[in-house]
Chain A
């Protein structure tokens, strides 16, 4: 069964005709070629597939595309093109936060969501903010450092 689904994706209005029960992650990766959305666990546990849904961080592997009809989705591709996104991506690179890189799109989204709500987080608040994102490589410390760096570099930008 195919249905027309219209939504905002990374700031543009898009439409597709597809099975509304397909997973959001599959539609983003396959139909829109947004390969920055990663699939780790497929069950909402690891955060690799995180996107913003109406500006709230969610895991796209447990959401059917039908639920996105009329809503707004931002992926890592959209976020890293924004000024705030760039600050985080640069801080991750400069701070040595990245090893294999698989968890990083989700981590950047978590950092973006955290700093947008809390511009100057403590260590604990950062760890809580990325607690739904699993990284098998880094041990998290350099990711936490890099988010501090992004908070510092962004300064007032995070409050706007």
Chain B
């Protein structure tokens, strides 16, 4: 195959065939790549390797529930498509609906957000929380890996040169949790790259008191998205008491390692955990604690204030 500077496959199969032969950079929405490779007005971006445009591959644009009841999201689905699709888990819809502004959300894809492997990326927070997996495909076949393993470290993912991310699979059902929480602290309402986002969820045992499951994840609080099962275990099997809340708060504080504005990020994270657990213990009527809801033009939840 003659090596080109840019490939424009029409099908996933064709894209995987190209990937098997040439070490190309996949370009989906372009919202990371076109910005990081931009030169100046009127000049074409220059890439270190050939590029393969995958924005419109129809196979990567589907959202459906598989036979195990898991939500499967095509790698090329945009933030807007995820935000407005009720099949997608709540935490993920929140994150998707607050990424950038409208124009950005119509370009930015979920696989691009994961592959970018930035600790400031918004979708990994919910994806870590919900034990989501990436489906990775090549001509050799498909494999799956937890998003939290796939993102190896800052700007590094576990992807071989012949592979593409094709789907994100989220094991999730409405009754997995009794209370849910998602909050983004940004500089302004739109287009804000996160200062931090925190996702939380809790499920009680039938007695309504003992914690059956508790999860917390945070983005932009270290080199990659943070979640710690050891910290979560501090409260699982127990009832929510002030001392236990503090154990969780302090435990998670040890896990995160924010570099810029560390005290602000630590304090905000501590407060969000404390608030969620304190409120959940009161068993409020609303399933959503501290959230955003309301109307938006994409049907996505939007900030109340």
Taking CB atoms and an 8 Å cut-off, the chain B residues in 98-139 that contact chain A are 100-104, 106-107
The residue that B6 contacts in the complex, of A1, A45, A71, A125, with Cβ under 8 A, is A1
CB of A131 within 8 A of CB of B8, answer no
CB of B35 within 8 A of CB of A19, answer no
CB of B6 within 8 A of CB of A3, answer yes
Q: Which 4 A-B pairs have the closest CB atoms?
A: A132-B101, A131-B190, A62-B34, A56-B106
CB of B189 within 8 A of CB of A131, answer yes
CB of A19 within 8 A of CB of B44, answer yes
Could you tell me which A residues sit within 8 Å of B by CB distance?
1, 3, 19-23, 26, 30, 39, 42-45, 47, 50, 53, 56-59, 61-64, 66-67, 69-71, 110, 113-114, 117-118, 121, 125, 128-129, 131-133
The residue that A66 contacts in the complex, of B6, B29, B40, B106, with Cβ under 8 A, is B6
Given A67-B30, A67-B56, residue A117 in contact with residue B297 (CB < 8 A): yes
CB of A57 within 8 A of CB of B191, answer no
The residue that A19 contacts in the complex, of B6, B56, B302, with Cβ under 8 A, is B6
Q: Which residues of A contact B190 (CB under 8 A)?
A: 128, 131-132
The residue that B44 contacts in the complex, of A26, A58, A110, A132, with Cβ under 8 A, is A26
A63 to B34, CA, bound (A): 7
The residue that B102 contacts in the complex, of A23, A57, A70, A71, with Cβ under 8 A, is A57
Q: Which residues of A contact B55 (CB under 8 A)?
A: 63, 67
5 contacts between A and B (CB under 8 A): A62-B31, A70-B56, A113-B297, A125-B297, A132-B191
Stretch of B45-53, B146-154, B203-211 on the interface side: B45-53
Q: Which residues of A contact B5 (CB under 8 A)?
A: 1, 19, 21
> Is B296 at the interface (CB under 8 A from chain A)?
yes
Q: Which residues of B contact A125 (CB under 8 A)?
A: 295-297
CB of B107 within 8 A of CB of A63, answer yes
Q: Which residues of B contact A53 (CB under 8 A)?
A: 106
Q: Which residues of B contact A66 (CB under 8 A)?
A: 6, 8, 53
Return A122 CB to nearest CB of chain B, in Å. 8
A69 to B107, CA, bound (A): 15
The residue that A47 contacts in the complex, of B30, B56, B103, B302, with Cβ under 8 A, is B103
A66, closest chain B residue (CB): B53
Task: Bits for B47-65, please: 1 = Cβ < 8 Å to A, else 0.
Answer: 1000101011000000000
Return A126 CB to nearest CB of chain B, in Å. 10
Q: A64-B34, A113-B102 are in contact. List 14 more A-B contacts (CB 8 A).
A: A19-B44, A21-B47, A44-B35, A45-B191, A47-B101, A56-B80, A59-B104, A62-B29, A66-B53, A121-B297, A125-B296, A128-B297, A131-B101, A132-B191
A21 to B50, CA, bound (A): 10
> Is B1 at the interface (CB under 8 A from chain A)?
no
Q: Which residues of A contact B298 (CB under 8 A)?
A: 117
Q: Which residues of B contact A110 (CB under 8 A)?
A: 102
CB of B100 within 8 A of CB of A21, answer no
A64 to B291, CA, bound (A): 36
Q: Which residues of A contact B100 (CB under 8 A)?
A: 44, 132
Q: Which residues of A contact B31 (CB under 8 A)?
A: 44, 62
Q: Which residues of A contact B141 (CB under 8 A)?
A: none
A131 to B303, CA, bound (A): 13
> Is B38 at the interface (CB under 8 A from chain A)?
yes
A63 to B107, CA, bound (A): 8
Q: Which residues of B contact A58 (CB under 8 A)?
A: 103, 106-107
Q: Which residues of A contact B40 (CB under 8 A)?
A: 42
> Is B244 at the interface (CB under 8 A from chain A)?
no
> Is B41 at the interface (CB under 8 A from chain A)?
yes
A64 to B51, CA, bound (A): 11
Q: Which residues of B contact A1 (CB under 8 A)?
A: 4-6
Q: Which residues of B contact A59 (CB under 8 A)?
A: 103-104, 107
The residue that B30 contacts in the complex, of A22, A50, A63, A114, with Cβ under 8 A, is A63
Return A143 CB to nearest CB of chain B, in Å. 15
Taking CB atoms and an 8 Å cut-off, the chain B residues in 177-212 that contact chain A are 189-191
A129 to B247, CA, bound (A): 42
Return A112 CB to nearest CB of chain B, in Å. 12
CB of B102 within 8 A of CB of A132, answer yes
Taking CB atoms and an 8 Å cut-off, the chain B residues in 1-44 that contact chain A are 4-6, 8, 27, 29-31, 34-35, 38, 40-42, 44
